[in-house]
Every structure is written in structure tokens, then in C-alpha cells.
Structure 1
Amino acid sequence: MADLLKLLLRVAEKAANVARVCRQEAPLFQLLVQEKTGVDKNKKFVQDFKTLADVIIQEMIRHNVGAQFPEMIGFINGEESNKFENGHGESVVVTVCASEAETAELLAKVLDGDAMAASLLARAIHQDPTSIDADTDRLSIPLQPSQLGIWIDPIDATSQYIEGKEEELQQGVLCPSGLHCALVLIGVYLRSSGEPVMGVINQPFNHRAPDGSGWRGQHFWGVSCDGLNLCSLSRPKPSPGPDLSAVLSSSEKPSVKDALSSVCSPDKLMYASGAGFKFLCVVQGLADVYVLSEGSTFKWDSCAPHVLLKAVGGGVVDLSRALESGPTRAELTYHRPDGGAAGADRWANAGGLVGYSDRAQLRRVIEALRGKI
């Protein structure tokens, strides 16, 4: 299964290349945006966009993983429908074909006959990254592909990706919005229990190349299963002093902010865009916890970062269950839909969540919120 991790790191970097190519072509980018409607619309946002980049990335990952691990076909799930409507009102099912030329021909149908743009995207899809710097060769991971399923979020924080603010990241500082919030998330879980066991996060827009040739990315990975806990990042250090630091959505309820003020000083209540990015802030130690009271995230948002948090001693709990019965048995799982919901809501983290890197800090947060929200 070290081979699966290497494959996921490689396809995540290919996904990042696709995301960068789509942003580099401004006229093309305007053509790639479609608004989600109906049951696929995330109710949290007035406008929730689906891009062709999302669909291409998801299908590319599904194609590559299925080709190397056929036992996993049928258990590789993502956020997006692979049906895309072009400017002529024609519905096209987007897939990755066996050759670059065939993929370009299919994409040209989506792009209203724009062969040049289709060729550019197809090249990014079929071109392997030159190298992935990750020390995974000697890993022995006690899993079999027939045991596993995958959740893909092709571009988390799509609104930040579309808006495209080019904020410069500063070491050790939480930068709340911008292209760096857009992440590729690939999480692996056990089909039997729903436990998350392997995760890859790719940040396509981490920094600009010194030579001015465009954006460069960064990747992170984690494995957590059968007592094995490995992460590309070191365990984060807790905030100095008695106060915790928390990252929230800007739309979080006032009652949640008020309750957290008992454990967080005002300057340690921070806000950022993108569920995946907020999780990553906790993994990196830029915040102690990520608290969300609404059911506005989904399994594809949380599966990959959940593994990285487990690997550094933390996790992700269902907030409602943790408030009701304590955090011990409230960890999120990823294998069962909500039978009472429809569409994307079947896979929502409906009870809200808390992402944490230290269980003692989690207990403090739950106690602060209990009876207040």
C-alpha cells in the first residue's frame, strides 16, 4: 500500500498541474465555470461553482487509481458529477481516455470546439510530474486495496480558486483567503468501518517560482492504521499560554464565537476560507482547533485531512455527537450515507465538526460549547 500512497501523491500533483493550467488561461477560465443547481448545490453559499477543472481532476484520479488498483473501482468517490453542459446545451460525460489525443477530442466537445484549450488540458492530464519529493519508499502499510475506498475533493475552496486573489503566504502566519486556500484532497478509508487511514493534500498555489514562471505547490500526506501513525508534518506545538486558538468560518454563529471566548482570547479566534484549508491550519499548528457548527461540509472535505490529524495525535469529531455523549465515540466515519437525506446531503457532516490535534484541547472546546449552542 506504499504504492497506493505514491500513486496518490503523483495524481494529486497532476491535479495541481491541471488547476494551474486552467487559471493561466483567463478566457478559458471564464468558459469553465458552471453554477451548481438542485440537490448538488451547497446551501452554505449563495453561489457554489463547479468547474471543468473539478470534473477533470476527479475523473483523472479515478482513472489512474482504477488502472493500477482495479479492486478499488466502484469505491472511488468524489464531489462532482462528471456530466458537463457545454455552450450549445449539449450534455457531455467527462472521462479520461486511454490516450491524450482521445481525451483532447472529448474535452473539445465540452469546450465548444476549442481544440487548443482542450489540447492544453489533455496534456496536463496525461503528463506525469517529473518527481515527487516524499520519503515513502520504505513504508510498510498493513492494508489491501480490496479493503479500501477513496473520497476525492478535486478543488476544495472553489470560490477562492475562481476569485484568484494572489496572497503571499508568510511562515507561521494564518493567511485567511486567496489561491492558497484551494486544495486537492484525496482521502482513503476502510470500507468495513469507515475509518480514515490514508490522506494526501496538495496545495497547488503555495508560492510563485523565483524565476517568474508561475505558481508552485506543496504536498502533505499521512497514514494512520493499526498503530502506524506517520505524517509528512511534525506534530504541531500547542499555543503558548492558557488560551487556545481556533479557526472558524466567517459565517459561524455568534453563539459559537461567544462560547469559545471562554477558552480563546479575541485575537485567537481566527477566520479562513475553505474547509480543507482550515483543517490544514490545524495540522500545521497555525490553529489548535477548527470548529464548525453547521452541516456544510462533506465526507470529501474531511477524509484526507482527518488522516493527517490522526497521524499527529488528533482527529475530527462530529460536534453534535460530542456535545451529547462526549468526544470519545464521536470520530467521523466515511462509509455510510445518511439514508434520510438526498443528493450531496447524503454525505454531509450534518452534525458539524471539530478538527483537533490534541485530545485535551478537544475536551476543553467541547466543555466550552456544551449547553451554549
Structure 2
Amino acid sequence: MAGLLPALVAVSQKAAEVARLCRAEEPLFRLLVAEKTGPDRNERFQHDFKTLADVLIQELIKHDLGTQFPELRGHIHGEESSEFKDAEDSTNEFIRGCEDVAAVDGVAPGGLRSALVLVGAFDRHTGVPVLGVINEPFFQRDPQTGRWQGRYHWGVAHGDTRLCSLSPPAPRPRPCVVLSRAEAPAVRGALGLLGGGPPLLAAGAGYKLLCVALGLADAFVLSRATTFAWDSCGPHAILRALGGGVVALEGALRARRDGGGAEPPELRYHRPRPGRAGAERWANPGGLVAFVHPQHLRAVLDALRDVPGL
């Protein structure tokens, strides 16, 4: 464990540099895009794309960690297949990407700020996340050169050990929630009544999880099964290190409605979903709620317990 955390930080730094280099030349970047098809495609999107940067980063992480820790070979999973075929005129919002999107209450609604490198490790027997690194390759521009600069955050949550590069954010009296722009109106409306202000909107599941860890929001709620293990494992470990976690929304609401006092079920990462193929094997079923302070989780669940369809 002591050697694995520095290794995860190091590969995240390499990966961040690859992301910046691939993004540096816009005409070149547009050539480094391919559309995902078949079971690797996220069903949420009509068109789902990967870039050569995605593939290079994933293979770099597999190579470096597999070389340093041979026992991990065969146990390093990621989003992209290593096959890459160039495709013309296949761009979407992310690829056209706005580079300087103004933040709203500290949260970037979209653009490169929300493009992160996420690396996590989980216990193979229990599925509990134990190590996590979030690297922000496009955190800010150098005022002199205009080049992007990054930063990273890490967390350890193993047994009784809780260590993190971040300090737990102070709890607000009433939780502020960050959501996807595609979140259901009924969910938006219910969470808007919490009293912590209107929900903040942002792109990228990893980025919204980061917003919770940083205290920019008190909870991230997603009502649909559109995230995957590689989106949440690393941030989940950091949130656990801060005293929080990530629970399955569907199961947490069921436990809340039953009133039996059962602990909401946290996400686990060691078992692929049976009967699914490709990326869907590693989808997080039933939505999720990410939090640092348990009272905010309870407030969110109480707000959503009577929403139809949940």
C-alpha cells in the first residue's frame, strides 16, 4: 500500500501530461478521435467518442503499474479498448471543447476543467475502494505562457487508516447539490427544496465527485445508471478518506423507506454485472449519491424518497 500510492500519483502525472500534449494542437487533436460502437458505447449518448489520449493514458497506466507491481497484471481495468481507428468529422461537445468556461460558485459547468485523470484501487475480496487519485490536467493556465497547469489530490481509506491530501470541508447547514445537466426535472425540483440553493450543474461524473470532495457542493446525485467503476472508484476512495462515501441511490432509498435503520449500501467494484457485455459489465446500477457528511446524505434521501420513479 505504501508503495502503490506514490505509483498511482506518478502515473496520473504522466497521464495528465499526455492529455495536455494531445490537446495542445487543435487540428491534430481532431484527427485523434474515434467513435465507440457496440458494447463499449455508453448508452446515454447517441454518439460516444474516445480519443487517442484516452487510449494512450490507459495503456500507460497499465504498463507502468504492471511493470512496478507484476502481481497487479490482469487486474487493471479501464474504460477504453486498445483498438483505435481514425474517423473523419466525428466530433462532439467535449472534443470541440470550450477551454475557458467561467465557473459558477466555483464549479465549472463544462469545458476542459472537467476533464480529469481518475485512478483508483479497490480490495479484490470486498470491492471496497482503498486508494484514489484525481488529477486535474487543465486546472488553470499559466499567466505568463498561457499553458495549462494541473494539480492532483489523493486519499487512502484502508482499515482504520484515513489519510487525504484534502481536509474535510466544513458542512453547510443545508446541503448544496451538484447534478448532471441531463438529470430528471423531478429530481432537480425535489433537491432544489433542500434550502442550500439551486442545484449546480456540471459535466463529467468524476468532476462532480471532485466538487464534493473539495466542498464546492455537499452532494452529487445521479438518478440513472450512467456511471462506471472507472468514474467513481478513485473519487470514492478520497471521499471515504474524508469521512464520506458513495452509495447506490436505489438501495439507499429502499433502506430509508423501510425505516429499519440499515446503513445505505456503498458502491462496490469487484464484481462485474452478470449478463452484461463490454463497458456495461462495470456500470454502477441504480444511480448514486456522493457525500462527505452523513447528515447531507440523509437530507438528500429524505428529499427524494417520494419522487416518482425512484
Same fold (TM over 0.5): yes
Contact (CA 8 Å) 1:11, 1:64: kept in 2 or not?
A: yes
* Aligned partner of residue 166 in structure 1, secondary structure: coil
What's the offset of the Cα at 1:329? Answer: 4.1
What's the offset of the Cα at 1:169? Answer: 6.5
What's the offset of the Cα at 1:220? Answer: 0.5
* Aligned partner of residue 263 in structure 2, secondary structure: helix
1:80-100 alpha-carbon deviations (Å, 9 max, x no partner): 000112479xxxxxxxxxxxx
Contact (CA 8 Å) 1:167, 1:177: kept in 2 or not?
A: no
What's the offset of the Cα at 1:50? Answer: 0.7
The residue number in structure 2 matching 1:293 is 223
Aligned pair in 2 of structure 1 residues 160, 330: CA closer, same or farther (>3 Å)? farther
* Aligned partner of residue 188 in structure 1, secondary structure: strand
1:64-121 alpha-carbon deviations (Å, 9 max, x no partner): 0000100000000000000112479xxxxxxxxxxxxxxxxxxxxxxxxxxxxxxxxx
The residue number in structure 2 matching 1:309 is 239
The residue number in structure 2 matching 1:225 is 158
The residue number in structure 2 matching 1:319 is 249
- Rounded to whole Å, the distance in 2 between the matches of 1:171 and 1:42 is 28
The residue number in structure 2 matching 1:181 is 114
Matched, 1:80 2:80: yes
Considering only aligned residues, what root-mean-square deviation do their CA atoms show, in Å?
1.9
The residue number in structure 2 matching 1:127 is none
Matched, 1:361 2:291: no
What's the offset of the Cα at 1:170? Answer: 6.1
- Rounded to whole Å, the distance in 1 between the matches of 2:287 and 2:142 is 38
Indicate the larger mover: 17-26 or 189-198: 17-26
The residue number in structure 2 matching 1:341 is 276
Instruction: Identify unmatched segments of 5+ residues in structure 2.
Output: 257-261
- Rounded to whole Å, the distance in 1 between the matches of 2:170 and 2:102 is 20
If the length of structure 2 is used for normalisation, what is the TM-score? 0.92
Aligned pair in 2 of structure 1 residues 169, 237: CA closer, same or farther (>3 Å)? farther
Task: Report sequence identity in percent.
Answer: 51
Instruction: Identify unmatched segments of 5+ residues in structure 1.
Output: 89-157
The residue number in structure 2 matching 1:274 is 204
- Rounded to whole Å, the distance in 1 between the matches of 2:152 and 2:92 is 21
Given residue 275 of structure 2, which amino acid in structure 1 is its aligned partner?
Answer: G
Aligned pair in 2 of structure 1 residues 269, 216: CA closer, same or farther (>3 Å)? same
Given residue 304 of structure 1, which amino acid in structure 2 is its aligned partner?
Answer: G
1:5-51 alpha-carbon deviations (Å, 9 max, x no partner): 11111110110111111111222211111111111111112221111
- Rounded to whole Å, the distance in 1 between the matches of 2:27 and 2:193 is 49
Contact (CA 8 Å) 2:34, 2:86: kept in 1 or not?
A: no
Q: 1:105-120 alignment to 2 at 5 Å? A: none
Indicate the larger mover: 219-228 or 250-259: 250-259
Aligned residue pairs total 301
- Rounded to whole Å, the distance in 2 between the matches of 1:249 and 1:310 is 22
The residue number in structure 2 matching 1:139 is none
* Aligned partner of residue 187 in structure 1, secondary structure: strand
Aligned pair in 2 of structure 1 residues 269, 283: CA closer, same or farther (>3 Å)? same
If the length of structure 1 is used for normalisation, what is the TM-score? 0.77
What's the offset of the Cα at 1:172? Answer: 6.3
Given the alignment, which residue of 173, 179, 193 partners 1:262? 193
The residue number in structure 2 matching 1:54 is 54
Contact (CA 8 Å) 1:160, 1:181: kept in 2 or not?
A: no
